[in-house]
Structure 1
Amino acid sequence: MTSPVDLLTDLVAIASPSYAEHEVAACLAGHMRRLGFAAHLDAAGNAVGVLDRGPGPSVLLLGHIDTVPGGPPLRVTADAVHGRGAVDAKGPMAALTCGAARATGFRGRLTVVGAVEEETPGSRGAMAVRDTLPRPDAVIVGEPSGWSDVVLGYKGKLDLRVSADCPGAHPSAPYPRAVELAVRAWAVLLDEIGADPADPASAHRSFADPAATLTLLRGDPEHAEAEMSVRTPPGFDVDACVAAVRTRVPAATVTVRGAVPACRVRRADPVVRALSGAIRAEGGEPGAKVKTATSDMNTLSEVWSVPMATYGPGDSRLDHTDDEHIRIDDFLRGVAVVERALTSLAL
């Protein structure tokens, strides 16, 4: 029989950078079957497990099984599981899976999905889920919130690529070069979102303000390209921002690589209430937070207006770091919280 820690360590042991998730998806599906799910891999490569427990609401629990590249390998100590993905987001994924399997008091249909490519601009796994599965009655997204906290919302994201081509010319020719156009586009973007050009990263501390990151800049006088990522607050006008950059830097080509709006739910949301009550029952003081990053909650909420929140054990400050690890006691509390929340969820 699969134990929660067995599932977690088996997932973390398998390297699964984005676009290379097949082995870990097959592993998760195998564990799902041993836990009683009807499980398969869908056309996108997601691991999908279903528990049909009679008439009642349908709840989707979706985490992601891809990671950023590299990072520490699996190492298990007396009190923690170390390794890439232990926090982001194989810990939450294992907690959703095991919590759903243990929620035998839930009446309805539980669908658990280990989604691919969350760490990419396209979020292809979650996109496939929302495009192919029936709309559920409620959703829990698995991301590290800390075992006693619930995430109510995330900033959105706008990913841009800027490219410029200019004819060869003497350095004294009176027009901008390609690499200068790419730099100009970055400066214009910062101006349009109201960021401090001397410290653009400072806006990442605020949920209410847009914040931009220059993720790529390369080129020379004849050809250059840049990639920029904007974290957007609720109500941000993506179309106006893109149009302004194109208008102010007409000699460059500005392409939208991906865009998803911000999302936020209220504390009174039924999923938030169920998770908070379960945290309290496990001896915790439930907290609520919003994140300045983006998750598959953004992708799903863009189409499905249903009760929804994000939950998962793990300290998100350890995401993508060389010290990524999850405490085993926090992980097991997370499993118990998911079990209790599902059992008590009233829709």
Structure 2
Amino acid sequence: MPHLDLTADPVDLCAALVDVPSVSGDEAPLADALERALREQAPHLELLRSGQAVLARTNLGRERRVLLAGHIDTVPIADNLPSRRDGDLLYGCGTSDMKAGDAVIAHLAATVSDPRHDLTLVFYDCEEVEAARNGLGRIEREHADWLRADLAILGEPTNAGVEAGCQGTLRGEITTRGRRAHSARSWLGRNAVHAAAAVLDRLNTYGARTVDIDGCEYREGLQAVRIVGGVAGNVVPDECVVTVNFRFAPDRTAAAAEQHVREVFDGFEVAVTDLSPGALPGLTAPAAAEFIAATAATPSAKYGWTDVSRFAALGIPAVNYGPGDPNLAHTREEYVDTRQITEATAVLRRFLAR
């Protein structure tokens, strides 16, 4: 089992985490190493193992509780292990998404033994695959009390900035139907692909909202992301499916987002295939406001969906904050600027330590 020194420089700890492969579904070696390290180096923490997730917390009776969470799995390795250093850059699978954030959280877990707030640390599995396997969902079902907090900070890569809440996302299929015919006698049929032009017209003229919530500007978007139609080169198609993706501001509920999409495509056959609610930033909550003050950063809206949505659904204000460039996630050339690891560690220590 690899040895992890949680008290070491978090940059070195990040490299050590990266060098333990943990593709989704195969997190056990890293989870085992984290569990052993926390038991040996952070005796002030209560520990819980849930599948391939490792949880730890203080029970000091503080007025507030802050939860720090990071997934320990990565996408499949792309000839980018072991890690390597090039000046201030640390290369390797998972450096940015999100073992740099995990290193910060694990280091603070071991070195902040008398925090200002009670702490819960969650290192979870299977974030990079289908939502049904996400470790946070299992923890919520089996150990819901471990997810109670006044603020959740998800260590996703944000270039060490604060991204508050997140957009919701809906995928739907808009189907147009026609009548098959031989293309040489097209007047005997009705072309479903041509009928889809009306769907595209509505998308072209769609006016997306921009919404300000807690000083963060969320821009919505409704886009066609796929079109499928036709069965052969000499057949008038009788079915065409336009897949759309609606990224919506978190002031809309999932139900309201679905209703809106159905209204936009009124008169068409609409089937929702995937729907996840957004997360309100909740920056006016006391613990969140204190964190923002500690970062001295101007929060921005999170464009995209992250697991902060799960915490928001539990009524917990949640933000994304971590080292790493999200644009490098899942790439062969993935790296993290180690200066951001140092910066994020200092900011969170300032927020958490007494």
Out of 289, 305, 313, the position equivalent to 1:294 is 305
Unpaired stretches in structure 2, ≥5 consecutive residues: 209-215, 231-236
Residue 55 of structure 1 corresponds to which residue in structure 2?
61
> Greater shift after overlay, 215-224 or 239-248?
215-224
Residue 246 of structure 2 corresponds to which residue in structure 1?
230
Query: Residues 178 and 190 of structure 2 are in contact (CA less than 8 Å); yes or no, is this contact kept in structure 1?
Result: no
Give how far 1:139 is off: 1.6
Give how far 1:222 is off: 6.2
Is residue 92 of structure 2 the alignment partner of residue 73 of structure 1?
A: no
- Alpha-carbon distance in 2 for matches of 1:183, 1:342: 55
Query: Residues 156 and 321 of structure 2 are in contact (CA less than 8 Å); yes or no, is this contact kept in structure 1?
Result: yes
What are the superposed Cα offsets for residues 184-239 of structure 1, whole Å, 9 maximum, x if unpaired? Answer: 65654565x525xxxxxxxxxx9433114544444534666554332211334312
- Alpha-carbon distance in 2 for matches of 1:121, 1:160: 17
Out of 291, 313, 321, the position equivalent to 1:311 is 321
Aligned length: 321
- Alpha-carbon distance in 2 for matches of 1:162, 1:328: 45
Over 3 Å counting, the alpha-carbon distance change for 1:234 and 1:274 in structure 2 is closer
Is residue 35 of structure 2 the alignment partner of residue 29 of structure 1?
A: yes
Out of 162, 173, 179, the position equivalent to 1:150 is 162
- 2:149 aligned partner, one-letter code: P
- Alpha-carbon distance in 2 for matches of 1:41, 1:297: 21
Over 3 Å counting, the alpha-carbon distance change for 1:96 and 1:248 in structure 2 is farther
- Alpha-carbon distance in 2 for matches of 1:157, 1:224: 23
Out of 77, 80, 90, the position equivalent to 2:99 is 90
Is residue 122 of structure 2 the alignment partner of residue 105 of structure 1?
A: no
Over 3 Å counting, the alpha-carbon distance change for 1:143 and 1:19 in structure 2 is same
Query: Residues 126 and 135 of structure 2 are in contact (CA less than 8 Å); yes or no, is this contact kept in structure 1?
Result: yes
Residue 17 of structure 2 corresponds to which residue in structure 1?
11
Out of 38, 47, 50, the position equivalent to 1:42 is 50
Query: Residues 40 and 48 of structure 1 are in contact (CA less than 8 Å); yes or no, is this contact kept in structure 2?
Result: yes
Question: Whose Rg is larger?
Answer: 2
Query: Residues 98 and 157 of structure 2 are in contact (CA less than 8 Å); yes or no, is this contact kept in structure 1?
Result: yes
- Alpha-carbon distance in 1 for matches of 2:108, 2:202: 48
Over 3 Å counting, the alpha-carbon distance change for 1:38 and 1:214 in structure 2 is farther
Partner SS for 2:219: coil
- Alpha-carbon distance in 1 for matches of 2:207, 2:24: 33
Query: Residues 154 and 294 of structure 1 are in contact (CA less than 8 Å); yes or no, is this contact kept in structure 2?
Result: yes
Over 3 Å counting, the alpha-carbon distance change for 1:91 and 1:183 in structure 2 is farther
Partner SS for 1:126: helix
- 2:272 aligned partner, one-letter code: T
- 1:231 aligned partner, one-letter code: R
- 1:111 aligned partner, one-letter code: T
Residue 264 of structure 1 corresponds to which residue in structure 2?
281
Give how far 1:308 is off: 3.4
> Share of identical aligned residues, percent?
26
Partner SS for 1:298: helix
Over 3 Å counting, the alpha-carbon distance change for 1:159 and 1:41 in structure 2 is farther
Give how far 1:331 is off: 0.7
- 2:330 aligned partner, one-letter code: H
Give how far 1:295 is off: 1.3
Over 3 Å counting, the alpha-carbon distance change for 1:271 and 1:71 in structure 2 is farther
Query: Residues 66 and 120 of structure 2 are in contact (CA less than 8 Å); yes or no, is this contact kept in structure 1?
Result: yes
Unpaired stretches in structure 1, ≥5 consecutive residues: 196-205, 280-284
Query: Residues 122 and 258 of structure 1 are in contact (CA less than 8 Å); yes or no, is this contact kept in structure 2?
Result: no
Is residue 207 of structure 2 the alignment partner of residue 194 of structure 1?
A: yes
- 2:71 aligned partner, one-letter code: H
Q: CA RMSD in A?
A: 3.5
State the TM-score, normalized to the length of structure 2: 0.74
